[in-house]
A and B are shown apart, each in its own frame.
Chain A
Amino acid sequence: MAEKKITLNMITCRTIQQGVGMEAGKTSQKYFDACTIMHMHPEDMKRLGVWKNTNVKVTSSVGSVIVKAVETREDLVPGLAHIPMGPWANRIVPAYTFSTGEPCFKGFPVDVEIAANERILGAVEVLQDACGLIRK
């Protein structure tokens, strides 16, 4: 029986696809496709009962974001998840720096739940939404 919500250890890193997308433009489809994914271990996907390429809601101590769960190409260990760096990953990165200037980009706990029908916001939209700059 799959669990409704699982807790994973999150790291955010560069990927070459993220780099190419970034240089193609922050509003480009390439950037969107490269950064709105969460790499998961197949065992964790089974535990959550999520199919490949299904949207999930990832929640940390500072907020939540919708991204697409994908099976990892660069092997992770079970319990470890990875979102490429970008405005989506940074929606959930804790800003506390332990007086070093460096936020917790790697190694913070997140809850993951299936959100198949939720929409993934665009690069600018995800930031403007957080900053309250989108007029509804």
Chain B
Amino acid sequence: MPKEVTDVICPFCGTLCDDLIVTVSDDNKTILGVKNACAIGAEKFNHQRQPGRVKRPRMRQADGSYKEITYDEAIDWTANMLVKSRKTLMYGWASTSCQAMSIGHEIAEKVGGIVDNCATVCHGSSLIAIEDVGVPSCTLGEIKNRADRVVFWGCNPAHAHPRHMSRYSIFPRGFFTVKGHKGRKIYCVDCRYTDTAKCADEFIQVQQGFDYELLNAFRTAARGEALPDTVGGVPKEKIYEIVEDLKTARFGIIFFGMGLTHTMGRNHNIDIAINLTRDMNDHTKFAIMAMRGHWNVTGSGQVLGWQYGFPYAVDLSRRDQARHQTGETTSVDLLNRSEVEACFYIATDPGAHFPVDAMISSSRKPTVTIDPHINCTTEISDIHIPVALVGVEVGGCAYRMDNVPIETRKVVDPPEGVLTDEELLTRINHRVDELMAKGGQ
């Protein structure tokens, strides 16, 4: 008799929806259906039952093919690689649990690795800006219950966080927002007329790459100073009108995404968006929030933050101190300069999401990839170690985009004999200890 598991957490995006209902076969091995999830989240759960999943580690042969090896062999190879390498890039972590990260960081401390997460090519710029100027933020619950002005700047939740708008930002009725969508005014600033823009009351089309100028114009208008006729393709009358409306909010929120962090200006775009939020607080209550992508990239920043003081790109190769310098200890720069001796990727796919030059550099180094599925990175790695899907086949702590920790749930058993991230990293850690005790270091 199939059973329903309720209140399942979705391990796809930073919204971490917590109301999924998953139907599971009576032997606890197969997912039969998913309710309440978005198209992407449903696909993540449904993928679990697809045939052809890799269940044992694989090692690349001289002819480019892969042969199956045992977990023991894979763990030994990985530990040897980590101990021999003087500087290892240990990148990923955004799709695994905080518990697994903590074990990974222990290994990194011992072998002198550089721990970096997906923020490095995502919200890294935001984290630099937040380190520089701080961030007046709030939780998603507060937004649902209070926000009556919502600005989406350079983000497209309709595609990247599909249930964000219905759970928190546009449509839900909250304690002080009883009219739901009708009680909120939604602005969308983007260089494209995105599907999010179609849900907004007002769309402001900024010229690509002119976000800094437009944000600066918003600040200028908020202080009542003069503006040129157009800024970033937006007429000044429009800017004054929007700023005056934002000032009348009871509670306003700015959500920003890759449109700000990836375009020219990077951290300076976020810096000025935060300063605009600060200015608006002279008139009303305003907050700002990064639309974090991976479901637990915020968690990686949290764990690194409380362990070493930096949210990403932490260089532990000096053993006695943790260093962080953007442009120096960030993954893409390390690979561009070919500065690391080995690569250890976990719960991510840089092969698909890093610029090709960085991956060409990576492919020339000993590489281990830990991922439940075959992806672009596994196919240029020496070793691919499959693991259980976190949030589906094993639980663990994750942080939502507003820094709220949520315990994800196990829904089905992993395939027989497949290790979880925590089990695998613990065994690699023990093997590293043994090798170092023998004087491998």
Q: Per a CB cutoff under 8 Å, which of B331, B373, B374 touches A101?
A: B331
Query: Is B12 in contact with chain A by the CB < 8 A criterion?
Result: yes
Query: Is A2 in contact with chain B by the CB < 8 A criterion?
Result: no
CA distance A93 to B333 in the complex (A): 14
CA distance A133 to B63 in the complex (A): 10
CB proximity to B under 8 Å, residues A23-77? 23-27, 62-63, 72, 74-77
Among A22, A97, A98, max chain B CB count under 10 A is at: A97
Contact with A along B319-331 (1 / 0, CB 8 A): 0000000111011
**Nearest CB to that of B329 among chain A residues?**
A101
Question: A101 to B326, Cβ gap below 8 A?
Answer: yes
Contact with A along B201-221 (1 / 0, CB 8 A): 000010111000000000000
Question: B63 to A80, Cβ gap below 8 A?
Answer: no
With A97-B327, A102-B125, A107-B209: A16-B158 Cβ-Cβ less than 8 Å: yes
CA distance A107 to B211 in the complex (A): 12
Q: Per a CB cutoff under 8 Å, which of B156, B313, B333 touches A13?
A: B156
CB proximity to B under 8 Å, residues A91-114? 91-107
Q: Per a CB cutoff under 8 Å, which of A80, A85, A91 touches B191?
A: A80
Query: Is B380 in contact with chain A by the CB < 8 A criterion?
Result: yes
CA distance A14 to B357 in the complex (A): 21
Question: A23 to B44, Cβ gap below 8 A?
Answer: yes
**Nearest CB to that of B197 among chain A residues?**
A74
Question: A24 to B47, Cβ gap below 8 A?
Answer: yes
Contact with A along B240-284 (1 / 0, CB 8 A): 000000000000000000110111101100000000000000000
CA distance A26 to B349 in the complex (A): 10
**Nearest CB to that of A103 among chain B residues?**
B355
Q: Per a CB cutoff under 8 Å, which of A9, A92, A128, A133 touches B208?
A: A9
Among B194, B208, B312, max chain A CB count under 10 A is at: B208
Point out the residues of chain A lying under 8 angstroms from B261, CB to CB: 102
With A101-B121, A105-B258, A127-B359: A15-B192 Cβ-Cβ less than 8 Å: no
**Nearest CB to that of A94 among chain B residues?**
B355
Point out the residues of chain A lying under 8 angstroms from B360, CB to CB: 130-132
Question: B63 to A25, Cβ gap below 8 A?
Answer: no
With A13-B258, A16-B162, A106-B263: A123-B125 Cβ-Cβ less than 8 Å: no
Question: B194 to A74, Cβ gap below 8 A?
Answer: yes
Question: B356 to A62, Cβ gap below 8 A?
Answer: yes
Point out the residues of chain A lying under 8 angstroms from B335, CB to CB: 95
Total count of chain A residues near the partner, CB < 8 A: 54
CA distance A33 to B124 in the complex (A): 29
CA distance A83 to B352 in the complex (A): 13
**Nearest CB to that of B373 among chain A residues?**
A25
CB proximity to A under 8 Å, residues B135-176? 156, 158-160, 162
CB proximity to A under 8 Å, residues B82-132? 120-121, 124-125, 128
Point out the residues of chain B lying under 8 angstroms from A20, CB to CB: 39-40, 43
Question: A15 to B159, Cβ gap below 8 A?
Answer: yes
Question: B353 to A90, Cβ gap below 8 A?
Answer: yes
CA distance A135 to B60 in the complex (A): 14
Question: B376 to A26, Cβ gap below 8 A?
Answer: yes
CA distance A63 to B360 in the complex (A): 12
Query: Is B351 in contact with chain A by the CB < 8 A criterion?
Result: yes
Among A107, A128, A131, max chain B CB count under 10 A is at: A131
Q: Per a CB cutoff under 8 Å, which of A76, A98, A124 touches B376?
A: A124
Query: Is B36 in contact with chain A by the CB < 8 A criterion?
Result: no
With A26-B374, A26-B375, A133-B363: A101-B332 Cβ-Cβ less than 8 Å: yes
Residues of B in contact with A (beta carbons under 8 Å apart):
12, 38-40, 43-44, 47, 50, 63-64, 120-121, 124-125, 128, 156, 158-160, 162, 191-195, 205, 207-209, 258-259, 261-264, 266-267, 293, 312-313, 326-328, 330-333, 335-336, 349, 351-360, 363, 373-376, 379-380
Sample 18 A-B pairs with CB under 8 A, ordered by A number.
A9-B208, A16-B39, A23-B43, A86-B353, A87-B351, A87-B356, A87-B376, A90-B355, A90-B356, A97-B332, A99-B326, A99-B327, A100-B125, A101-B326, A105-B121, A107-B209, A127-B351, A127-B379
